[in-house]
Structure 1
Amino acid sequence: MTDSDQIRRVLRENKTLAVVGLSANEMRPSYFASKYMQDHGYRIIPVNPRYDEILGEKCYPDLTSIPEPVDIVD
């Protein structure tokens, strides 16, 4: 199995992503990448103490504040 195959498998099997430091600025790579993933069916949970909401999702100040299971942390 190649690295690309492993990445595809991980992304196919995991749909909830917490993105630490996600920016609300549409020009930032973290926003663009998270928006792309959200548009393709992934649940994005923003983690940034500076915001209340990003991408229409409640923003949490830290990982321990997220009240639900997370599959991947970025």
Structure 2
Amino acid sequence: MRPNSFSTVEERQIQNAKNIIKRKLSGKEIPQLVGVEKQHQTLYNVLERTVRHGESNSILILGPRGSGKTTVISL
């Protein structure tokens, strides 16, 4: 039989893993995407200029389904 400290750690690890899986399956966690840093920075810069300098800017985000449009604006 294992000491209680080991079983407690294992139970916490299992619960953490369950929580991570639930967030990913429910869509409440934004996945890490590679290669969208430039697009995210461009979006950020336009929004920053709009807020800081009162510029009147518009952004049109186009791309095929699953290309990361929603993720880029959610980062």
TM-score when normalising by structure 2 = 0.29
Structure showing the higher strand proportion among its residues: 1
TM-score when normalising by structure 1 = 0.29
